[in-house]
Amino acid sequence: MTISPAAHAKLSALLKKSGREMIGYRFDGAIGNCRGSVPLLKPVAVAPAAFLTVVVDGIAFFIPEEYRDVFASAALDYDERLFNRGLKLSWPHREGGCPNCR
């Protein structure tokens, strides 16, 4: 996975702002499709059982097994514009293997 500098800064700030010793983010899926979705991320203090650990640029993500291949080619960005504000996740479409396009 690649993370844009803006997304990296936002995720790092959110972990620090949590006020607790968070070690990364649990990925609970995404709203949207492979061409652009909002990732469902939750800061966690303990690695969740049965999730894979993926560390990108020093930020740990805990992902379900079904997203292993998706995360290998995904891109995470942060858009600061008023109407598109927020984290955006995208990945190349996989016919029959794209979790959000089934």
CA 85 from centroid of its chain's CA atoms: 15
For residue 25, count other CB atoms closer than 10 A to its CB: 20
CA nearest to 76, candidates 84, 65, 86: 86
Q: What is the spatial distance between Cα 81 and Cα 98, in angstroms, rounded to a whole number? A: 28
pTM: 0.84
pLDDT truncated to tens, each residue of the chain (102 aa)? 999 999 999 999 988 888 678 899 999 988 877 677 889 999 999 999 999 999 999 999 999 998 888 888 889 999 887 566 789 988 876 665 565 565
Domains of the chain, by residue range, sit at 2-90
Q: What is the spatial distance between Cα 49 and Cα 94, in angstroms, rounded to a whole number? A: 27
DSSP string for residues in 53-91: EEEETTEEEEE-GGGHHHHHH-EEEEE-STTT-EEEEE-
Does domain 2-90 match CATH 2.60.300.12?
Answer: yes
